Every structure is written in C-alpha cells, then in structure tokens.
Amino acid sequence: MRLSAPIYRLKRQARLLSRKEEIPLHLALDRIAAEEGFSSWSLLAAKAAETAPATRLFARLVPGDMVLIGARPGQGKTLMSLELAVAAMKAGNRAAFFTLEYTHADILQRFHDIGIEPADFDGRFVFDTSDAISAAYIIDGLRLAPRGTLAVIDYLQLLDQKRETPELMVQVQALKAFARENGLVLVFISQIDRSYDPSKKPFPDVSDIRLPNPLDLSLFDKTCFLNEGEIRFQAA
C-alpha cells in the first residue's frame, strides 16, 4: 500500500490534528494511520520502514562510498539520512551522526518520527555535536570504527565554516581517502542554493549545491536529491 504522503508529512499532519482537536498525539497518529488503511501508527511506521526509499538506497551502497543528499529545507533530507543509518544498523553495522544543527533530543524525536526506537540499537549509534567538527575530527572519531560503519555529516557546508580548518576541497578529499581505506560509508547532507526554482526543475542536482568555496563534486560516488516527497538517486 502506497502512503498518500511521506511519513514525515503524515507525522506533521498528526501534530496539527492534535493541536486543533486538543487530543493526545498518539491518538492523532492513530487517526492518521486509519486514514491510510492501518489499524495503528506503529503498523504504518513499520510498513513504511520496510518499503522506505532509504532501504532500497542502502542496498546499493558499498563500503567506501561517499553519498551526497541534497534538498531544500523541510523536504526530508535529515530523515532520509537517519533512515540510511537505521538500515545500516539493521544490517548489523554501526552508525554515527555528526551535527551542529540538532540536539540529542531532536534526533531522538526524528527517530520516533520514522517509527524507530533508538534503544533497539543501543551501542551501535553515536551522536556527536562537538564544536570541533571538521574532517580531521570526524576521521579521528571514526578511526576505530569497523568496516561498514555509516556516518552522516550534517551538513557538507558545515566543514567550511571555520577559518582555521583546511579548504573544503582538502577536507572532502581527506574524508574520501579515509572512507576508501577503512571501508566506511560517509553520507553528507547538503544545502541547496536559494536560486533553485522547483517550478522550473522538478529536482535539484549537483549544479544547485550551495558552495561557498570550490569543491569537486565528482568526489561523491552517489547522489540523492529530494523534492515534494519524491526522490532521485544517481550513481556517479
């Protein structure tokens, strides 16, 4: 059964319904699930996880891959990256999430949004919000990570924020070499330039990536762009 909207949008509808009718969120979620043909939200979330695009995307990743996920704000790129992390952990691997955008509570809520209980992956998931995040910091943090570990970097442009860090190109090149040598999968969430107009082009592409400084985007092995609940995946 195909959902009428991505799960993060259905969750948003439930929150609005909860506030509008002053009912508990879990009741609003179950009501939305019923409209989609499921007896409960938990069943809807479980079914969505089975057929999630991230599950299919993960099946196409190999150790050493550099993956770029791009979308405008609110299009689900963070949830997509977390779904990839979940797929990796379900496959018996570990996952990590490096960010200055989200708190630990935010990420826990995002996991719940996609119907995942973080406790089920206790010991397999690392969340890092250090102000020192850079290529060197990420490499140091993952140096002992086992082959197959999937790490999300939220976001690509974050690496370019501090003057004392190397150029963005140098950092991404270092991360690529590290991923290849150690058999890791690195997923970079990326901002899209404001000039992108969805009315003229259904999906953003590499030409729409916001780059404050030069970067050879061919360093990424695979790209994934999202817009209005649709996904376009491409291998380099």
The pLDDT profile of the chain, 236 residues, written as one tens digit per residue, is: 678 887 778 888 999 999 999 999 999 999 999 999 999 988 888 777 666 788 889 999 999 999 999 999 988 899 899 999 999 999 999 999 999 889 989 988 888 777 788 888 888 999 999 999 999 999 999 999 999 999 999 999 989 888 889 999 999 999 999 999 999 999 999 999 999 999 999 999 999 999 988 999 999 999 999 998 788 998 87
Q: Which tokens belong to 51?
A: 């057929």
Structural contact between residues 87 and 185, judged by C-beta atoms closer than 8 angstroms: no
Structural contact between residues 125 and 87, judged by C-beta atoms closer than 8 angstroms: no
Domain boundaries, the chain: 7-51, 53-235
Neighbours of 93 (CB within 10 A): 20
CA distance 129 to 153: 11
Sign of CA dihedral 234, 184, 51, 190: negative
CA distance 140 to 130: 13
Residues in the chain, total: 236
Distance of CA 143 to the CA centre of its chain: 22
- Residue 46 belongs to what H/E stretch? helix 41-51
Vertex 64 angle, CA 131 and 69, to 5°: 60
Tell me what pLDDT residue 14 has: 92
Residue ranges of alpha helices (H) inside 114-236 are 135-142, 168-182
As a CATH number, domain 53-235 is 3.40.50.300
Tell me what pLDDT residue 150 has: 98
> DSSP character for 209?
B
Tell me what pLDDT residue 51 has: 67
Helix, strand, coil abundance in the chain, percent, nearest 5: 45, 15, 40
Listed residue (110, 112, 114, 122) closest to 154, CA to CA: 110
What pTM, to 2 d.p., does this model score?
0.83
Listed residue (169, 101, 182) closest to 140, CA to CA: 182
Tell me what pLDDT residue 228 has: 84
Tell me what pLDDT residue 230 has: 83
* DSSP-assigned beta bridge partners for residue 190: 70
Structural contact between residues 128 and 98, judged by C-beta atoms closer than 8 angstroms: yes
Sign of CA dihedral 96, 109, 59, 220: negative
